[in-house]
Chain A
Amino acid sequence: NAGVMQNPRHLVRRRGQEARLRCSPMKGHSHVYWYRQLPEEGLKFMVYLQKENIIDESGMPKERFSAEFPKEGPSILRIQQVVRGDSAAYFCASSPPGLGNQPQHFGDGTRLSIL
């Protein structure tokens, strides 16, 4: 059973470009979470999605960031007009449907570097 798959592993963008990060959850998982880890810091929650629905986006910056989890295909975290401060590791996690005692399984992360 494949784990959570994130791609790309590393992404380099110039300031002002767009960054698209992809996450395929584990088989049978319908809940997806995105976290951001700035250098030397812990992970910070960004957004929680279920299929075709955003459940909690309280950690998402109001501008330039968006996330989706379509009925078919991976979850996408999109950052428009990237700035240097967006450089971070972005982790996706997934969990199966059901009550909240299911642990979240993490992908290996996408390291975003802004030149």
Chain B
Amino acid sequence: AQTVTQSQPEMSVQEAETVTLSCTYDTSESDYYLFWYKQPPSRQMILVIRQEAYKQQNATENRFSVNFQKAAKSFSLKISDSQLGDAAMYFCAYRPLGATNKLIFGTGTLLAVQP
């Protein structure tokens, strides 16, 4: 069964600094998708960034970028120039190809941003 592991329950970063959130996953598939979602205190689920496993190039979205290491099954999220609004719970998610499109989530990392 596929699993997603986020080994950092909590992280803290100073405003304007850079922080990296870790995520590893376990799968025997060669093609799949990976996502990072953000859940602020309002508890909405907001898509931050996504990566297709067949693409070697790491995805970037403004201040957010990933380090995708397929062989190591690692998918970390880097947040540059951290802002107070980045404070939230961050969930890593895996989605297999095929008939089901279900997302498999990690347990989350709570990010605090210090002014």
Complex contact B45–A43 (CB within 8 A): yes
- Give B98-115 as 1s and 0s: 1 = Cβ < 8 Å from A's Cβ atoms: 111111111110000000
A104: contacting residue among B98, B99, B100, B103, CB under 8 A: B103
Interface of A is mostly: strand
A23-81 CB contacts (< 8 Å) to partner B: 31, 33, 35, 41-45, 48, 55-56, 58-59
Who on chain B is nearest to A102 by CB? B101
B41-92 CB contacts (< 8 Å) to partner A: 42-47, 50, 52, 91
Number of chain A residues whose Cβ lies closer than 8 Å to a Cβ of chain B: 26
Residues of A close to B44: CB separation below 8 A: 106, 108-109
- Any A CB within 8 A of the CB of B16: no
Complex contact A48–B43 (CB within 8 A): no
Number of chain B residues whose Cβ lies closer than 8 Å to a Cβ of chain A: 25
Q: Which residues of B contact A (CB under 8 A)?
A: 33, 35, 37, 42-47, 50, 52, 91, 95, 97-108
A-B contact pairs, 30 of them (CB 8 A): A31-B101, A33-B101, A33-B102, A33-B103, A35-B103, A35-B105, A41-B107, A41-B108, A42-B91, A42-B106, A42-B108, A43-B91, A45-B102, A45-B104, A55-B99, A56-B99, A56-B102, A58-B100, A59-B102, A91-B45, A95-B101, A103-B47, A105-B47, A106-B37, A106-B44, A106-B46, A106-B47, A108-B42, A108-B43, A108-B44
